[in-house]
Homo-oligomer: A and B are copies of this chain.
């Protein structure tokens, strides 16, 4: 029944911002009771396709599915799969270099400045765990912003999604607290060289710099996961 409304909306070619008929109008049109209509609207709302506002001029409106919503919905799917950090890095290692290459020479001065600005947030080594965590988040933000600059919506979404998913995993497992200095050192150097390559329009260099960074991060993460497992075995009640 939500499908009926959805296809009706698509048939009418409604665009984001357009208003759906009011509840009473939908009741009349589809010949269903208020509760049923409302449940159908909830189905659409959960998918992020509509939003509703109360009051005069309010109603139900077509809404473009937000990046956030799409990521959450897709995250629900992987909640039941058992993804490893290694799985996520396999994707990043394939996609991030591609992104870097495709952006070489395409960014304006403002965008390059923004990336440099983010970089300054971890120009200095972290002095405590809190700073270390902040730097880790900021470095993921660097990738997320880069992804938003992509002309390819699919590529941009996937990179933001994997970066966020990694952020969730690592923060929840407190991996960031153990990240060693090597990652920090390689991270700053990498971004400096990457921004230069992007500025110069050197796609090959940008790709290779990013690829190397991914390989390094993946290797370090792999080490951390080993450490983590050892800790679990040492601390927890042994089987």
Contacts and interface: CB of A to CB of B under 8 A. Distances in A.
Contacts of A43: 42-43, 45-46
A64 interface: yes
Contact of A98 (B2, B40, B90, B155): B90
A115 interface: no
A77 B83 contact: no
B155 A91 contact: yes
B49 A64 contact: no
Chain A interface SS verdict (over half): helix
Contact of A87 (B67, B80, B81, B152): B152
Contacts of A152: 87, 90-91
A227 interface: no
A78 interface: yes
Interface stretch (A68-76, A105-113, A179-187, A217-225): A68-76
In this complex, the interface size class of chain A, counting residues with CB under 8 Å from chain B, is: 35 or more
A98 B42 CA distance: 39
Contacts of A129: none
Interface in A13-46: 16, 35, 38-40, 42-46
Given A87-B152, A87-B155, 9 more contacts: A16-B80, A39-B39, A42-B42, A46-B46, A48-B76, A69-B77, A70-B77, A78-B153, A94-B94
Interface of A: 2, 16, 35, 38-40, 42-49, 64-65, 67, 69-70, 73-74, 76-83, 87-88, 90-91, 93-95, 98, 102, 152-155, 157-158, 162
